[in-house]
Amino acid sequence: MEVQKRWQVILSLLKERGEVGVDDLAARLDVSANTVRNDLNAMAAESLLIRVRGGAVAVEGNDQAGRAFAARAKEKQREKELIARHAAGFVENGDAIVLDASSTVYHLATFLQDRQDLTIVTSGLEIATLLAQNPSNKVILAADVVSSDGLAVIGPLNPGLLHHFSASWCFVSCSAFSWDQGLMVLDIDEGPLKTQMLTLAEQVVALVDHTKFGKTDTYRFADMNQIDHLITEDGVEPEQLQALRKVAGFPITMVGTDSAETYDAGQARLKKHVFRIGFGNLTERMIFTQQVRRSLERAAANFDNIELLIRDNDLDRQKALDNADWFVANEVDLMIEFQIDAQAGNIIMDKFNWAGIPVIAVDIPLPGATFYGADNYRAGYLAGEALGCWIRDHWEGRLDILLKLEMPEVGPVTSARLLGQQVGLESTLGFLASNQLLSLECPGVLDAAAETVANIIPSLPKDARIGVIGINDEAVLGALTAFDRADRLGQVVAVGQNADRLGQAALRRPNYPFIGSTRFGPEHYGEELLILATKILKGEAVPPAVYNQHVFITRENVDEYYPLPEDAAFGEATVASALT
């Protein structure tokens, strides 16, 4: 049994009986008497109990958990306060931040009491209580289950946060840190929640005192490529700092009593030419595009000669054009452009061509750009074929209406994906008559798609059997949301494109008429894009188009391809929240 679990059993018995014996605990915990004695001595040092001959007795009162936290906060107090004070300087009035339940981050919270209008997501109950004392703050607990020690919340991240919360900073600490394993904690109940909390913020700041360096522990909650900045203190050995600087893809700040020195990422490495690569993202309002952006950030951290510059096009033509001018002004060496507006794409490419900047187009072709991403017709065909098989097997081949959710502004991508889906469906059901086809211009964002489809539902026969296809998961799930709200979900079935996290969650929702989605794998785009980019920058020959290998994701294989903790936590509750 793990140390923390043993301590929880011992505290529970003390609360119940008032005293415990070494031999009884050894038998109950299935460990040696020496192990029990070591546990009792360590717990006594943290004021959790009083050591007596042959065992231990409970401390007066019932505040063992509070005593434990206070004792932990006092350990390496100077180091923790140095780190926390410096980290607090990152936070400005009005910021949204994420804080874990560690004692180091609690120290950080004490330095934030003069800030105003903060929005805080935290797993620490002590931190929540402290920062909620400021009436201008809004404090949100990260999960719903209180840990056995009463100091933190554990379990899946509250579903609404995944869709509706975005923070500037996430501050976390750890019990162990090593270059090959990243950030680790002892408690396996605490680790998964920390992993999910990292995804809520633009920047992850690790607060790690020197005693954690070079150690390992039970649960790794963050890899090195998930850290954006690390703050430590002057107790770190020079050899350890040098070793970390050789492998870190993030800045490292070492804080002393009267000084703070920041080492840029890769500063100790051999000097290399650094390529400035720009990324114009389609939008931050879609799960798929968020995953593409995060994968690029993770991949860039592993290249010591790439500086990644990111701007959000926000599905806005003028903003995309302004961003193109910004990238040109900042003299990027290569551009990765995710652009859905075909007309804007022509103008953007003209700007980059005049500046001599090569371009990689993501998923949507741009004139003159190297293409990376979906084989759009093939991706569509896989989904349409699966939809046809489902209708054949469950509706005896009857399909009254095929609702095609189109986005004409995307240009040929919509045509390729939707044509592939229709042809794939017809390969099973036979050709559809024109009166069976219903095309609808529809946005690719879930809420907007739901609103658009809701407007046509009253005109559709209530006994019609309707199949839905579209350019991405969010569009077709928006359509299903609209049918659900109209209490007509039973007459519709849909397939998607992307297999993003929302699509994966929909597949895990029992009896939901979303039968599958073609996998594009946005979580892997970053590394492939940067490998392609470096080849272009080095003058190596590359093909005009590099396509993904698509797989159709269903209820039967979603766990095989996406067994990630975040997906399991995303679950039915999240879909129910997003699709209502």
Within 13 Å of residue 546, how many CA atoms lie on the same side as its CB? Answer: 18
Which CA distances in Å does 66 have to 224, 246, 438?
A: 32, 40, 63
* Amino acid making up residue 483: F
- How far, in Å, are 126, 147, 151, 167, 317 from residue 129 at the CA level? 5, 16, 11, 20, 45
- Close Cβ partners of 312 (under 8 Å, ≥ 6 residues apart): 281, 283, 284, 319, 323
User: What residue spans define the domains of the chain?
Assistant: 3-62, 72-263, 275-373, 376-519+550-578
Return the pLDDT at 561.
87
Nearest Cα neighbor of 80 from 209, 253, 230 is 209
- CA 467 to centroid of chain Cα atoms: 31
Alpha helices (runs of H) in 356-495, residue ranges in sequence order: 376-394, 412-429, 446-454, 473-485
DSSP state for residue 552 in the 8-state scheme: E
CA distance 315 to 567: 26
For tokens 């389609």, what's the residue? Answer: 282
Asked, colleague to colleague, whether 275-373 and 376-519+550-578 share their fold, the answer is: yes
Name the nearest CA neighbour of 436 among 409, 469, 458. Answer: 469
363/201 Cα distance (integer angstroms)? 26
| CATH no. of 275-373 | 3.40.50.2300
Phi, psi of 340 (to 5 degrees): -95, -20
Q: Which CATH architecture has domain 72-263?
A: 3-Layer(aba) Sandwich (3.40)
Q: What is the pLDDT of residue 567?
A: 38
> In angstroms, rounded to a whole number, what is the distance separating the alpha carbons of residues 122 and 130?
11
**pLDDT at res. 580:** 54
- 520: tokens are 């594009």
- Is the pTM here over 0.75, yes or no? no
Q: How far is CA 6 from CA 1, 29, 31, 461, in A?
A: 6, 7, 10, 63
Name the H helices within 457-517. Answer: 473-485, 501-507
Q: What is the pLDDT of residue 60?
A: 60
Please give the CATH number for the structural domain made up of 3-62.
Answer: 1.10.10.10
Residue 139 has a pLDDT of: 96
Using a CB cutoff of 8 Å and minimum separation of 24, what contacts does 393-399 make? Answer: 394/493, 395/465, 395/493, 397/429, 398/465, 399/425, 399/429, 399/432, 399/436, 399/465, 399/466, 399/467
In contact, 483 and 512? CB cutoff 8 Å:
no
pLDDT confidence of residue 555:
93
> CA dist 181 to 186, 227, 364, Å?
14, 12, 36
Helices (H) and strands (E) in the chain, counts: 21, 28
Report how far residue 422's alpha carbon sits from residue 9's, in angstroms, rounded to the nearest whole number: 60
- The residues facing 263 across adjacent strands are 252
Instruction: Give the residue ranges of the chain where pLDDT is below 70.
Output: 1, 60-75, 265-273, 410-411, 413-414, 564-580
Domain 376-519+550-578: give its CATH code: 3.40.50.2300
Structure tokens, 76: 């390496």
Q: In what order do the strands lie in the sheet with 167-172?
A: 138-141, 119-122, 96-99, 167-172, 201-207, 229-233, 252-255, 260-263
CA distance 287 to 566: 13
With contact defined as beta carbons under 8 Å apart, do 82 and 104 qualify? no
